[in-house]
Amino acid sequence: MTRGRWTALSLTVVAVAAAVAGFPRAKRWGEEALRRSIERRASAILGGPVRVGSLHVELFPATLHLGAVDASRRGNRGSEATGTADELSLRAGPLTFLRANRGPFTMKLKRPHVHVRLAAGRSLAAGSDGSTGAATTLTMVPAGSTLEVLDGVVEVDLA
C-alpha cells in the first residue's frame, strides 16, 4: 500500500469514528435545547409553568415524544388547573413541524390526568364570561388532525 492510500484510509477511519462517537452526543444536545424551548413556549402560551421530563425526536416518521409532561395554572380568583401526562406524542409532516405548512397532526396522550378547581361563582359553561375561548381555539386546529387519549382522568371541583 502506498503512503497516500494509507493516509487516506487512516483519515477515513478517524472521520467515521468521530462521526459515530459524536452523533449521539450532538443529538442529545439538540433534543435538550428543543425540550427547554418547548417548555418556555408552552409556559408563555398557558400562562403557568410547564415541565417536560424528557424529549425524543424521530425523523421518520416525523414525531416528537415528550415524557413526564406537567403543567399548571392558577387564576386570580382562586381557580386552579393542573395537568400531567406520562407521555405526549406529536406526529406531523416535516413541513408542519417547520411551520412552512399548516397541515394536520396527530397527538397521542398516555395516562393524562387533569384536575380543575373552580373558584366560587365560576362555571364550566363555554363563553359564560362573554368570551368564545374554546370555540375559537378549535377553529385554529387544522382539518384532519386527531387526538388519542389512553387511560385519561379528568377531575373537576366546583367551589
**For residues 102-130, average pLDDT:** 79
CA distance 33 to 52: 12
Whether 66 shows a pLDDT value over 90: the answer reads yes
Cell, residue 158: 366546583
For the record, the C-alpha cell of 117 comes out as: 378547581
pTM of the shown model: 0.71
Q: What is the span of the domain harbouring residue 88?
A: 3-126+135-158
3-state secondary structure of 76: coil
Q: Is the pLDDT assigned to residue 60 strictly greater than 80?
A: yes
pLDDT digits 0-9 by tens, 86-110: 999 999 988 888 878 888 889 999 9
CA distances from 92 to 7, 72, 144 (A): 45, 26, 11
pLDDT computed for residue 52 by the predictor = 95
How far CA 127 is from CA of 76, 115, 155, 158, in Å, comes to 18, 20, 20, 17
Under DSSP, the state recorded for 89 is E
Segments of 2-145 assigned E as strands: 50-58, 63-74, 80-92, 105-110, 113-118
The count of C-alpha atoms lying within 13 angstroms of the C-alpha of 36, restricted to the half-sphere facing its C-beta, is: 5
Count of domains forming the chain: 1
pLDDT tens per residue, range 4-55: 777 777 777 666 666 666 666 666 778 888 899 999 998 998 889 999 999 9
Q: What percent of the chain has pLDDT over 90?
A: 30
